[in-house]
A and B are shown apart, each in its own frame.
Chain A
Amino acid sequence: MKNELTKEQLEQDPEIERVSAEVLEHMMNPRNYGKMEDSDGIGMGVDEKTGEFAMVYIKVDDNILSNITFGCNACQDTVVSGSLFTEMVKGDTLENAVSALKLMGEKILTAPKKQQACSNMILTAFRAAIINRDNNIAGMNEEMFTIDMKESCEGININESK
């Protein structure tokens, strides 16, 4: 058999992209994808180097993240991350969702570099959506909040801008 690696070899190589059954399911049927008309927070994470971006829409009722959707102009890794993340936090409290954001941020550091950048885009857009909601509660009439990811591969050194 050509190039066939064992499961152990695949797991040991962090740079090999794999398509597990779970990932394939999210590729075929991404959860919570699309625009939300009645959102109260819209955030965008932009990778300036590639021009790719992700948008996250949130709706919070009584401190519960009652709805969250996303859209993106990015690769499949971003789609899968957005699908997994939104499914994980939807219906939870805002505090738990923020904790999940931090946990997922730490977890993706173990992923291949490219996947880190793509997953960070979703997390960044979610953070921006929370900022947008906070700004609007504070009285600003802001359509959305954008965070430019200057060093997207590392997921650090972000510049925040409206």
Chain B
Amino acid sequence: MNLSSIYQSKHELWVKILFSSFAINDEKIKNSIYEFAMIEFRHLKWLSNHLKENRISYNYEKYAIDIEKKTNFEYFEYIINEIKLCVKNYNPEEAIFARMISDEFYFISTLERLLKNEKNNSEIIAFNKNRTYEDKDLDCISRDALTIFLFEESYKEYELILLYSYFQNYTDDILQYNIYQDMIDESQFHLKSFGNMMAKMGILAIPRTVIEQLYINKDIKKFLIDGVDEEIKAKEECANLANAIEDDEISKFLTCVMYQENYHIELMQKAINRLENS
């Protein structure tokens, strides 16, 4: 398998582990698997840098992923299997892959340990399409609005993580690199929050593939300028939804997201200024 294809399988592995973590209810297990996903994301970053240094192109294409499982144990087995399939393609002679193998062997051993205790098993509700949120009394309009919001925004955050990672990989400017890192971190937090909310509502789904016209040969300055407008619209969406949903906890979270958008706008403006002056 060539490096571009390994990159695709690593990208898929990150998504599979990340969304498995969202699907699992048990907070402790969820957090462990989420940490594995974050380490996988760092592998992806190393690999994209390795590809750039070797002048090999890569993209964010991914095959359809069937993430729906019935129990925690099915997820543990699924992740173990997917990691093993991915590792088969590594060249262990290369330092970058040796580091990945070391991490992934640890993930496998942790998951195998979890499989030994039946107490770690439980039923998955992330796909039951129930569209209830914990014990909250959401009316049908709020429920539909929240459903659409979560689908739109979970895709958007996934897209932003990938786009900013791509731009980060191809910039030599430290300031831009750091801004993109901040944006990635913010989007990771949002994706985690939205993904976990979707799972609670039984509507968890893998975001669709980000098409390459959005990042390859992209005018980054225009992307950022358009992005500022999008962030302003996102702020309005959050404010409207927070008002529409008569639930204190969800409204507070949406208000927090809305204020975070201000910070994003500030960062994006800083990146625009840098691009204009460079």
Contact = CB atoms under 8 A, between A and B. Distances in A.
Contacts of A1: 137, 139
Interface string B139-170: 11111110110011000000000000000000
A10 B140 CA distance: 10
Contacts of A123: none
B205 A29 contact: yes
Q: Interface range on chain A: under 10, 10 to 19, 20 to 34, or 35 or more?
A: 20 to 34
Interface string B197-234: 00000011100110101100000000000100000000
Interface in B119-146: 127, 129, 131, 137, 139-145
Interface stretch (A70-78, A98-106, A126-134, A152-160): A70-78
B139 A4 contact: yes
A79 B205 CA distance: 13
Q: Interface range on chain B: under 10, 10 to 19, 20 to 34, or 35 or more?
A: 20 to 34
A1 B129 CA distance: 21
Contact of B152 (A3, A55, A73, A76): A76
B246 interface: yes
B61 interface: yes
13 contacts: A3-B139, A3-B142, A5-B141, A19-B143, A24-B203, A28-B127, A28-B129, A28-B205, A33-B208, A35-B61, A71-B211, A76-B151, A76-B152
Interface of B: 61, 64, 127, 129, 131, 137, 139-145, 147-148, 151-152, 203-205, 208-209, 211, 213-214, 226, 246
Interface of A: 1-5, 10, 16-19, 21, 24, 27-30, 33-35, 51, 53, 55, 71-73, 75-76, 79
